[in-house]
């Protein structure tokens, strides 16, 4: 995460906890940076006019003015439950898991009335056993895949197949496939000159090349593969149609 993204995320982290203070150590652990970096970021937020402040003493930390809120979002209790359950189902190793968490924090901070109470109630009643497959996805790999997809860049990766054979590839990402407990990057492989699916937890290293990737049709790359019958999740249909029609 670059500094600009981290500054926004810090605000959301403090907003989600408000009015409770959050320690610098906790923020540093959350964003995997040093406490000195967090201190500098918080100081920068203060200087830019964001209403963050330090609370000294035992039990103290950093807080944000509770009045700095988002406009209310009017959800039904069922909708709040659906969002809570969806977030619970998102593994920490899944693509965009960090962004999903902060997005939900924004929505939760803006919920009012019965929806807010419903989300809190359900959140306290959901537990999960960690998924070995998702937890094995390296954070650096996940970030590289996200960046390559977002910026339409070719990706250089090291991949270990089911037989344990390692290979280096340069691929042009087309999209993501989720199946069972696994996530796959579907891409055009420049090395094999064909469409391929790469299981994220088998990618041992990845980095965007800076070289633009050509556009590829996701469905065409899946033809003839085990993922040929994949369909767009119903919950994403409206978003995808909006993008196509915009």
Note the residue count of the chain.
246
- Per-residue pLDDT, averaged over 79-94, amounts to 78
Both structure tokens of 235: 């919950």
Choosing among 2.40.50.140, 1.10.10.10, 2.130.10.10, 3.40.50.920, the CATH entry for 3-64 is 1.10.10.10
For 13-46, the pLDDT digits (tens) are: 888 787 888 999 999 998 889 999 999 999 888 8
Instruction: Judge whether 119 and 82 are in contact, CB under 8 Å.
Output: no
59-83 pLDDT, tens digit each: 789 988 766 555 566 777 788 888 8
Angle at 140 between CA 134 and CA 143, to 5 degrees: 85
Give pLDDT tens digits for 150-178. Answer: 889 999 999 999 999 999 999 999 999 98
pTM for the model stands at 0.63
Domain ranges of the chain: 3-64, 77-123, 134-245
Contact 10, 42 (CB under 8 A): yes
Q: Which neighbouring-strand residues pair with 172?
A: 188
């Amino acid at each position: 995460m670059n500094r600009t993204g981290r500054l926004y995320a810090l605000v959301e982290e403090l907003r989600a906890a408000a009015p409770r203070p959050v320690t610098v150590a906790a923020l540093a652990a959350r964003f995997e940076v040093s406490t000195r970096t967090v201190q500098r970021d918080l100081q920068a937020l203060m200087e830019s006019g964001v209403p963050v402040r330090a609370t000294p003493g035992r039990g103290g930390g950093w807080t944000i003015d509770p009045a700095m809120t988002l406009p209310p979002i009017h959800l039904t209790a069922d909708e709040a439950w659906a969002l809570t359950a969806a977030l619970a189902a998102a593994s920490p190793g899944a693509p965009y898991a960090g962004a999903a968490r902060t997005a939900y924090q924004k929505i939760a901070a803006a919920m009012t009335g019965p929806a807010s109470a419903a989300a809190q109630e359900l959140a306290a009643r959901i537990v999960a056993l960690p998924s070995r497959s998702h937890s094995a996805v390296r954070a650096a790999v996940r970030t590289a895949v996200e960046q390559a997809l977002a910026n339409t860049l070719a990706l250089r990766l090291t991949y270990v197949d089911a037989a344990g054979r390692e290979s280096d590839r340069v691929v042009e990402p087309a999209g993501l496939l989720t199946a069972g407990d696994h996530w796959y990057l579907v891409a055009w492989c420049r090395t094999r000159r064909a469409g391929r699916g790469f299981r994220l937890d088998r990618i041992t290293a990845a980095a965007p090349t800076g070289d633009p990737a050509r556009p590829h049709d996701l469905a065409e790359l899946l033809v003839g593969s085990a993922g040929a019958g994949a369909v767009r999740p119903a919950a994403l249909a409206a978003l995808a149609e909006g993008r196509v029609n915009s």
